[in-house]
Amino acid sequence: MDSGSHSIWLHGGTSQRKIEKGDLVVVDVHPVVDMYANDCARTFTCGESTAEQQKLITAYRETQQNIIAQIKPGWKVMQVTQAFTSAFTAQGYGAQWIAGPVHGVGLEFEEWPHPSHYGTHAQLEISENWTLAIGHSILPVKGMGGVKFEDTVCVTAEGAKSLNQSL
């Protein structure tokens, strides 16, 4: 869990920092069931959200959910990144956006395909039964912190089906 200025950290870390009222708080968990990993992240505000915090949270969540609703076999992995980049640019967050919103999930919570580490993975065509984490990247805003919503999905012939049972 990361909060305040630490909420911009992609994988977080431990610290002695106390969560303060008004902080953005990113909770990123990786439960394992029957040896298979899951990847899930949510962002909350400690106390009441400011209008700008709520705008940022809503922008990320709606963008992520819209992209999950569109993914289907035949998409290239890079199309996920392009869809996030286009949406965030249209909302005025393109300059802050740190690309890398997708990776595979299986026996490890981060595995192949991993286009942010291996550029050639961006060209891979998504197939039916792939398990992917969608929303891996942080959307940071200077002076406010960062937002992240991540869900694990299974790509089916009809599209992506969420494997997360959370808020």
Instruction: State both tokens at 151.
Output: 């869900």
Amino acid letter for position 167: L
Rounded to 10°, the helix 77-90/51-70 angle is: 150
pLDDT 10s digits, 21-50: 999 999 888 889 899 999 999 999 999 999
Q: Using pLDDT thresholds of 50, 70 and 90, give the confidence band for residue 7.
A: confident
Predicted pLDDT of residue 157: 94
Note whether 119 and 99 are within 8 A (CB): no
Please name each of the domains of the chain with its CATH number: 2-162 (3.90.230.10)
- What Å distances lie between residue 150 and 49, 71, 72, CA to CA? 20, 15, 18
Mean pLDDT lowest among 8-22, 52-66, 137-151 = 8-22
Token pair 């959910």 is found at 65
pLDDT at 149: 94
Contacts of residue 146, defined as CB under 8 A and 6 or more positions apart, other chains included, come to 2, 7, 8, 9, 24, 26, 43, 138, 139, 140
Which pLDDT value is given to residue 166? 61
Task: Report which listed range, 50-59, 91-100, 142-151, is most confident.
Answer: 50-59
Q: What is the torsional sign of CA 160, 163, 115, 141?
A: positive
* pLDDT category of residue 167 using cuts at 50, 70 and 90: low
Using CA of residue 149, residue 150, residue 156, residue 161, what is the dihedral sign? Answer: negative
Share of the chain above pLDDT 90, in %: 63
Which residues, in sequence order, are bridge partners of residue 134? 102, 151
Please state, for a pLDDT cut of 70, what percent of the chain lies above it: 94
What is the pTM for the complete model shown?
A: 0.90
Instruction: Give residue 106's pLDDT.
Output: 92
* Residues across the chain: 167
